[in-house]
């Protein structure tokens, strides 16, 4: 009968609606993520059976005393970083695609990630003594600067979507070039540290990174979820959004800042993991449609699952050599991007 699931209270003025498929899909994605996390934690030079992984995570006794150290200190934070980074990138992408009304406008494609990377690399190479918790802040500033530049030079009240993407790619390349110059001429120790990080990998990430990333998600994810309805009307264009009574500039501003913050924080944590913010919202839109109430969470979990899976593939494909997970996501994302570009030629 209806495609909506309505939650409504007769006593208090509270009501919500969602695409009927959302709860079961979120559950399926959650189960897949858990399974993939357990597989990923168990996999490695020192394999751990799934049951022991679960036991260790729950703090139960296992047959091997080493498991606790391997799981809790080495592998679990890494997988957690993969999950959080994937979620943050996916939400950031859902926002920019929604507001700019352009399926190609993901933070990685229009240069936000590159800007964030440049700022973070500058911090690592030029100011090597700065603590790691400041990296997200620098990345945010870098991403925001690039976004402002793109906005001023390309967007201009809703010009053609392709124009925005092309200018974004231009900025992205210029920023990457400056990053290259920095890594070529910088101090060798800080450069090697920067390079490991730039590759877009969750290799060797510890609880420090988890703790630096979490606050950003705790602040910005709820803000974005509350503003799902605003994203819906912004997705219909400026005039409709204003017509139904949105305080347009404010809402758009808050959402874009949230997007840059989430993208920046994840770039600061794991480097530039390409195309997650681009593909995850696409997959999610296919699953639950374009209404953001359900789309944001579905997209977030899809992004998390993507990065965890990409990391596992990257570790196992040519083991013992590790491929950075950013390489895997790009290998999937780049052809899909081309496909969409070709499809969009009508613009």
> What's the rounded Cα separation, in Å, for the pair 182 and 126?
9
The one among 232, 272, 299, 302 contacting other proteins by CB under 8 A: 232
Taking CB under 8 A as the rule, does residue 237 contact other proteins? yes
Q: How far is the CB of 2 from other proteins (least distance, A)?
A: 8
Q: How many residues bind other proteins (CB under 8 A)?
A: 32
The one among 23, 30, 128, 243 contacting other proteins by CB under 8 A: 243
Taking CB under 8 A as the rule, does residue 290 contact other proteins? yes
The 3-class secondary structure across 20-52, one letter per residue, is: CCHHHHHHHHHHHHHHHHHHHHHCCCCCCCHHH
Taking CB under 8 A as the rule, does residue 163 contact other proteins? no
The one among 244, 317, 334, 338 contacting other proteins by CB under 8 A: 244
Q: How far is the CB of 238 from other proteins (least distance, A)?
A: 8
Q: Are 24 and 63 in contact (CB under 8 A)?
A: no
Query: Of the two residues 7 and 58, which places its CB atom closer to other proteins in the complex?
Result: 7
> What's the rounded Cα separation, in Å, for the pair 327 and 331?
6
Say how many residues make up the chain: 347
Q: Give the tokens for residue 322.
A: 């590790």
Task: Using the structure block, give the residue that is written with the tokens 């870098």.
Answer: 142
Query: Of the two residues 238 and 322, which places its CB atom closer to other proteins in the complex?
Result: 238
The one among 52, 209, 293, 311 contacting other proteins by CB under 8 A: 293
Which residues ranging from 66 to 105 are in contact with other proteins (CB under 8 A)? 98, 101, 103
> What's the rounded Cα separation, in Å, for the pair 146 and 167?
11
The one among 289, 316, 322, 331 contacting other proteins by CB under 8 A: 289
Taking CB under 8 A as the rule, does residue 161 contact other proteins? no
Q: Is 221 helix (H, G, I), strand (E, B) or coil?
A: helix
> What's the rounded Cα separation, in Å, for the pair 24 and 30?
10
Query: Packing angle between helix 276-288 and helix 22-42, nearest 10 degrees?
Result: 140
Write the CB contacts of 97 (distance below 8 Å, at least 6 apart in sequence).
103, 104, 105, 106, 281
Taking CB under 8 A as the rule, does residue 242 contact other proteins? yes
Taking CB under 8 A as the rule, does residue 291 contact other proteins? yes
Write the DSSP symbol of residue 128.
Answer: T
Taking CB under 8 A as the rule, does residue 246 contact other proteins? yes
Nearest to 86 by CA among 261, 310, 289, 290: 310
> What's the rounded Cα separation, in Å, for the pair 39 and 1?
40
Taking CB under 8 A as the rule, does residue 21 contact other proteins? no
Taking CB under 8 A as the rule, does residue 253 contact other proteins? no
The one among 239, 253, 339, 340 contacting other proteins by CB under 8 A: 239
Nearest to 91 by CA among 320, 251, 302: 302
Query: Of the two residues 78 and 252, which places its CB atom closer to other proteins in the complex?
Result: 252
Taking CB under 8 A as the rule, does residue 63 contact other proteins? no
Q: How far is the CB of 235 from other proteins (least distance, A)?
A: 5
Q: How far is the CB of 23 from other proteins (least distance, A)?
A: 16
Taking CB under 8 A as the rule, does residue 226 contact other proteins? yes
The one among 35, 130, 247, 341 contacting other proteins by CB under 8 A: 247
Query: Packing angle between helix 50-57 and helix 22-42, nearest 10 degrees?
Result: 100
Q: Binding residues for other proteins, per CB under 8 A?
A: 3-4, 6, 8, 13-17, 98, 101, 103, 226, 229, 232-233, 235-237, 239-240, 242-247, 285, 289-291, 293
């Amino acid at each position: 009968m209806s495609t909506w699931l309505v939650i409504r209270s007769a006593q208090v003025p509270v009501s919500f609606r969602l695409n009927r498929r959302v709860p079961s899909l979120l559950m399926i994605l959650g189960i897949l993520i858990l399974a993939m996390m357990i597989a990923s934690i168990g996999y490695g030079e020192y394999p751990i059976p799934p049951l022991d992984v679960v036991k260790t995570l729950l703090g139960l006794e296992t047959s091997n005393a080493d498991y606790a150290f391997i799981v809790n200190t080495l592998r679990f934070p890494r997988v957690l970083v993969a999950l959080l980074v994937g979620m943050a990138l996916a939400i950031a992408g859902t926002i920019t695609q929604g507001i700019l009304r352009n399926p190609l406008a993901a933070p990685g494609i229009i240069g936000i990630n590159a800007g964030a990377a440049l700022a973070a690399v500058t911090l690592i190479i030029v100011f090597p003594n700065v603590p790691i918790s400041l990296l997200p802040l620098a990345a945010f500033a870098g991403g925001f600067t690039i976004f402002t530049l793109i906005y001023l030079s390309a967007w201009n009240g809703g010009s053609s979507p392709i124009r925005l993407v092309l200018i974004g790619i231009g900025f992205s390349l210029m920023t990457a070039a400056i990053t290259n110059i920095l890594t070529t001429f910088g101090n060798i120790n800080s450069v090697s540290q920067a390079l490991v990080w730039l590759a877009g990998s969750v290799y060797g990430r510890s609880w420090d990174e988890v703790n630096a990333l979490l606050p950003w998600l705790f602040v910005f994810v709820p803000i974005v979820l509350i503003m799902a309805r605003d994203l819906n009307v912004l997705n219909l264009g400026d005039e409709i959004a204003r017509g139904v009574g949105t305080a347009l500039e404010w809402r758009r501003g808050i959402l874009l800042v949230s997007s840059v913050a989430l993208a920046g924080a994840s770039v600061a944590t794991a480097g530039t993991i390409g195309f997650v913010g681009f593909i995850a919202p696409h997959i999610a839109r296919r699953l639950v449609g374009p209404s953001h109430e359900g789309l944001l969470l579905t997209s977030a979990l899809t992004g998390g699952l993507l990065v965890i899976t990409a990391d596992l593939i990257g570790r196992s494909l040519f083991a013992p050599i590790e491929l950075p997970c950013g390489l895997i996501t790009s290998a999937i994302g780049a052809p899909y991007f081309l496909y969409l570009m070709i499809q969009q030629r009508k613009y």
